[in-house]
A and B are shown apart, each in its own frame.
Chain A
Amino acid sequence: MKLLAIRTLVLIVLALLFLAGFTVFVGRYLHSAAAWAQHPSNRHFYQNGRLKETGTIYDRRGEILLETKDGVLTYHPEENIRTAIMHVTGDQDGNVASGMLKVMWEHLTGWNLLTGAYRYQDSLSATNDLTLTLDARLSALAYRELNGRKGAVGIYNYRTGEIICMTSSPSFDPQNPPDIQADPERYKGVYLNRLLSAAYTPGSIFKVVTAAAALETIPGIEERYYHCSGKILIGADTVTCLVPHGDVMLKDALAHSCNVAFAEIAGELGADVLQHYAELAGFNSRLTVNGIKTAAGRVDVKQAAPVELAWAGIGQYTNTANPLAFMVFMGSIANDGLSVSPAIIARENIFPALAKAEKRMLPEETAKKLKRMLRNNTLTVYGEHRFSGLELCAKSGTAEVGEGKEPHAWFAGFLDREDFPYAFVVVIENGCTGSRTAAAVAASVLHAAVDRYQ
């Protein structure tokens, strides 16, 4: 029988092949079971494609943003609030990929790899609840200030990383979703949280990055004068300012957003240096906010011609910026060059609770110099009276988008206050001049933020 025993090897091979196939399944299971369980046809969790039950989501003040009431998913009672933070909670049909209903699905529904969909007595417990760092009413105010224009507003604490205000427009009432298809122009990209998942041409706010690179690499830059005659010829192309700025120092060039001076500075820095400092400032990489990956801003000047480099130095060319990432960069200037990773979920809510992650973006000295220059912007250009008591340090941006469309309006910065260590960003699509429209939104929301926590 030895002869036959040897020949049974074929059978062993078949059995091993089966076990190998089964291992493939187990591998896929470990990797994707959470995604499988989230399929809307899973009747353990969904009824008619909508979640049957979820843990309660609270904002930082204990307001209930989302709960299961009598077997129905119920958002905040006030429509303006649930609309303003729809992108944070997520919609009922699971279209908002960065919403808590998607990102924290396992936490909110109680599913896990070990016990699957099983729940004792078929019900959720307090461990399935979630507290956000967000102030829902402040976000609602920000949403109202956007006044129907597409864009985003964010405020975060640059010492702790807590995001206290987040809103994205357009939005809709998640309790009573409208017919999105009926008005494609109004609801263009409505499922996108523009603070996290969009990237826009930055325009002049990018000059802060160019200035940081200049402070680091060009000796005596702060004492130098640049002459602005209103335009500068680079190769066959010209870079222009709206008005001639005359002889300007770096801080004046930043305050008045002098394109000519920054075109010259970009040329002096060269492509490699500008690229390097843009990447230190968070461009070309994605942030992670409690597991939500943001869109990456882009800077790529490696192959740029001199005039393209000049345009890149003033925030045009192919540059894009993610609003949240730029807010974090602004926060790092406020925080002596250290950026604190942003969070939307209260730390005690997550297991394992992660310590706040810090990353050095700039040397302390450079950060302090930039802070003085950004403060000077407010004092000399934006007008301290509009931001009284805020100790505002900021930079506006008006990003040309071409195609005959109005430019995007940006306003980003921070409060230089120990009691209110807030960095912020406002971006309004086709919102015209940043120092007017976006700055007005920022002023209103920041004043409200300070008032609410006085």
Chain B
Amino acid sequence: MNSFRESMQQVLQETAGSIYPLLTDLASQAANTYTLVARWLFPLLSLVILVRCLVPLIRERSTDTVWGYLVLANGTSIPVRNWENLIGRGKYADIVVNFPVISRSHAVLTFRNGSWTIADLGSKGGITVNDVKVDKAQEIQFGDVISLAGIDMALVPPVQNEALVPTGAAGNSGDTDEEKDFTLNSTVTLMLLFLFQVLAVVQLFASRASMTLAALPVFGIFFLTELFHYFIMRKLQSKSIELEILVYFLCGLNLALVASAAPSDLKKQLAAILIGIAAYTVITWLCLDLGRARRLKYLALVGGVLLLILNLAFGERIYGARNWINLGFITFQPLEFVKIAFVLAGTATLDRLLTTRNMTAFIAFTGACIITLALIRDFGTAVVFFGAFLVIAFMYSGDLRTLFLVTAGAAFAGIAVVTFMPYIAMRFAAWGKVWQYADSSGFQQTRTMIAAASGGLFGVGSGNGYLKNIAAADTDLVFGILCEEWGMLVALCVVLVIVFFVFYAVLLTKNSRSAFYAIAACGAATIFLLQTALNVLGSVDVLPLTGVTIPFISNGGSSMVASWGLLAMIRSAV
């Protein structure tokens, strides 16, 4: 019996005492019947929404904009599709010029601030522009004679009479039929999502959970925000916005989980979503321009270091790790925001990446993060940072051997830590045999598995679970609540959305305007992936339980805002 129903009953009792038992019976019958039907609709709608979002995102990725052509002396004309292009003989070059005198990676052709630059990658043959030798890099004009190791070529503007001002926001949505279909499709998807979320709210009121009417405005504001944000996005850009719809889907589940597990946090969580969307919009806007984005990187680095120091100095322990800061009127987890700084710290443009190969600042920042995390004993997040470091470092260097060495080194360090600090090893002692310690060190994992088994494929209905009564279940064990109340199919959809973010970031890399965006997107996606992996697999004892959040799903304001911030990194790469 929920308190909403109770208050309804009270009203009824006062007005019509005689028919009251009949009415409550009817109400309970209706609630039960509602759950019976709705629990089948949720997985179905989830799957439909998922498919309707993934298909356009995968299809759209190649924009095929041509910024210019590189014309060779023999008349061959090679389209220039990126802002940053590797020229060389090798098969990974964006512009393949197949002459033996040309090096595998010979030069980088970069568009920046309205002009093109060519940079030498230490090639054997060297570069001249209008017969003047290029030392490192040289700005070029259309029509200049560029000579790579004696092979002459020239950059010419694109054939269409199109102003060569790539800004990222290429005007409003067009008038073609195809684009109208496009808009219509995504609007239909959004409406399906609304249906899903409205059904979810009704389900919460039909459940055992003590829902109060105070929850209604929260969901109301959330719906309006989704709608408002959607149409703003629609207006501002022509690209498909299914990425945002997927995240609305996750946020809707987040609110439902919070409403069920920690109703008093509902307003705070809504505020976090609103701040998250605002942060997302600002960061996306800042990143539109590469110059701005690079300045943002340095700002974020400074901010990140400050947050680390702040955490070390004033950090408080609330659950597990000492990673909270209390400002009196608000508590937050600074390390969540360091993730954004971390990803930005790892970015670099292709010319930088191929000429200087200097990762000192990034390595130093990573080191600072991981040492801080070790000091406050947040090992899960340390693994997330380390994994993201590996991915970014490999995109930087392409050196598989170093990658293995670093991983092996970290593994040894991990083993050393566990060997010499037995109290840390204790934490992981139950791993792989949690059922033997079902009521002690395996408590959380076994309860998660019990909840998953109780949910079946369709769940017992949002609000009807029991796992939520365990401490920190709505963060560390949120996958269990998802399985119990929403069922394995919806939980699987959530996992697939996160995995899709990774594949999407990889797809974006190929046509990305700059390596800066590609690295940022991949870094952000890695953090999403690793957090989800550690949370999901940790809570069901496939990996040791470390206590990290699932982005957009776990209860937590800082995590929600930071996740939106990281999403902006992926969006910027589109």
The answer to whether B458 and A22 touch across the interface, beta carbons within 8 angstroms, is no
B458 touches A115 (CB 8 A): yes
Rounded to whole Å, the gap between the CB of A213 and the closest CB of chain B is 46
| Contact A1/B457 with A11-B506, A18-B532, A21-B542 known, Cβ cut-off 8 Å | no
Contact B458 A15, beta carbon cutoff 8 Å? no
Task: Determine, out of A29-37, A147-155, A362-370, A431-439, the stretch whose residues face the partner at the interface.
Answer: A29-37
Give Cα A1–Cα B542 distance, bound, in whole angstroms. 36
- A1-B350, A39-B438 known; A8-B452 Cβ under 8 A: no
Contacts of B94 in A (CB 8 A): 1-3
- Complex Cα gap A25–B461 (Å): 22
With contact pairs A112-B456, A120-B36 given, residues A2 and B391 touching in the complex (Cβ less than 8 Å): no
Of residues 1 through 55 on chain A, the ones whose CB sits less than 8 Å from some CB of chain B are 1-8, 10-12, 14-15, 17-19, 21-22, 24-25, 28-29, 32-34, 36-37, 39, 41-44
- Secondary structure class of chain B's binding surface, majority of residues: helix
Chain A contact residues: over half helix, strand or loop, or mixed?
helix
In the bound assembly, the distance between CA atoms of A4 and B94 in angstroms comes to 10
User: A72 near B: Cβ within 8 Å?
Assistant: no
Q: Which of B502, B533, B537 contacts A12 (CB 8 A)?
A: B502
Q: Is B530 an interface residue (CB 8 A)?
A: yes
Q: Once the chains are docked, how many angstroms separate the CA of A121 from the CA of B32?
A: 6
**Shortest distance between the CB of B244 and any CB in chain A (Å):** 21
Digit string of B455-475 for contact with A (CB within 8 Å is 1, else 0)? 111111100001000000000
**Complex contacts, A118 vs chain B, CB 8 Å:** 35, 39, 456, 458-461
Question: Given B29, B36, B499, which contacts A19 in the complex, CB threshold below 8 Å?
Answer: B499
Which residues, 422 to 438 on A, are CB-close (under 8 Å) to B? Answer: none
Q: Are A1 and B390 in contact (CB under 8 A)?
A: no
| Interface contact tally, CB-CB below 8 A | 165
Q: How many residues of A contact B (CB 8 A)?
A: 43
**In contact, A14 and B537 (Cβ under 8 angstroms):** no
Chain A residues near B84 (CB-CB < 8 A) = 1
Q: Which residues of B contact A115 (CB under 8 A)?
A: 456-458
B526 interfacial by beta-carbon distance below 8 Å: yes
Which one of A22, A34, A112 has the highest number of Cβ atoms from chain B below 10 Å of its Cβ?
A22
Residues of B within 8 A of A8 (CB): 395, 505-506, 509, 518, 522
**Interface residue stretch chosen among B69-77, B178-186, B233-241, B442-450:** B442-450
Minimal Cβ-Cβ distance residue in B for A18: B533
Please, what's the 1-or-0 string for A88-128, where 1 marks a CB less than 8 Å from any CB in chain B? Answer: 00000000000000000000000111111110111000000
Interface residues on B, range: 35 or more
B450 near A11: Cβ-Cβ < 8 Å = no
Known contacts A113-B456, A114-B458, A14 near B502 by CB under 8 Å? yes
Q: Does B199 count as interface, using CB distance less than 8 angstroms?
A: no
B452–A36 contact, CB under 8 A? yes
B537 pairs with A18, CB closer than 8 A: yes
Instruction: Kindly report which residue of chain A lies nearest to residue B519, judged by CB atoms.
Output: A4
Q: Which residues of B contact A36 (CB under 8 A)?
A: 446, 449-450, 452-453
Q: What residue in chain A is nearest B443 (Cβ atoms)?
A: A41
- Chain A residue numbers with a CB within 8 Å of B529 are 11, 14-15, 18
Question: A11-B502, A32-B449, A118-B459 given. 10 additional CB < 8 A pairs?
Answer: A11-B526, A14-B526, A19-B499, A24-B542, A29-B452, A33-B453, A36-B452, A39-B446, A113-B456, A114-B458
Q: Which residues of A contact B (CB under 8 A)?
A: 1-8, 10-12, 14-15, 17-19, 21-22, 24-25, 28-29, 32-34, 36-37, 39, 41-44, 111-118, 120-122
17 residue pairs bridging A and B, Cβ less than 8 Å apart: A1-B82, A1-B86, A2-B86, A4-B509, A4-B519, A8-B518, A11-B502, A11-B525, A11-B529, A12-B503, A14-B526, A15-B503, A17-B533, A39-B446, A113-B457, A114-B457, A117-B455
